[in-house]
Amino acid sequence: MADPLTHVFAALADPTRRDLVARLADGDATVGQLADPYEVSVQAISKHLKVLEQAGLVSRAAPGHRSPVHLEADVLDLMTAWVERYRRRAEARYRRLDAVLAEMKEERR
């Protein structure tokens, strides 16, 4: 678990944490505000936030429940960028496949 991307993916492997990230995308919120809609304890939400914090996805100005949690959008962008790079490589491969398929059709004629 050395590289940041692995941490980010692992942190987002949980539906509650994905939901927290989605809500923080709308703006900063305190632990109490974040815990409100869930039927779990503030402590459980704190644990999830700790995982997100360790992955670099969220940050807090100060420790404690009063301090608002902030989403680090740059880290999310990093993940998106890596996935996009993989997609572009796949697209390049499929364009070569397009060319091969076009050649196959030519041969049929």
Q: Which residues bind another protein (CB under 8 A)?
A: 1, 3, 5-6, 9-10, 12-13, 15, 18, 82-87, 89-94, 96-102, 104-105
We find the least distance from the C-beta atom of residue 68 to another protein, in angstroms, to be 25
Which C-beta is closer to another protein: that of 40 or that of 83?
83
Q: How many C-alpha atoms does 7 have within 13 Å on its Cβ side?
A: 15
We find the least distance from the C-beta atom of residue 65 to another protein, in angstroms, to be 27
Which C-beta is closer to another protein: that of 14 or that of 36?
14
Which C-beta is closer to another protein: that of 77 or that of 84?
84
We find the least distance from the C-beta atom of residue 20 to another protein, in angstroms, to be 13
Q: What dihedral angle (degrees, nearest 10) is formed by the CA atoms of 27, 32, 35, 37?
A: -80
Tracing tokens 């196959």 back to the chain, one arrives at: 104
What lies within 8 Å, CB to CB, of 29 at 6+ separation is 23, 68, 69
We find the least distance from the C-beta atom of residue 21 to another protein, in angstroms, to be 10
What lies within 8 Å, CB to CB, of 25 at 6+ separation is 71, 73
Which C-beta is closer to another protein: that of 47 or that of 87?
87
SS3 70: strand
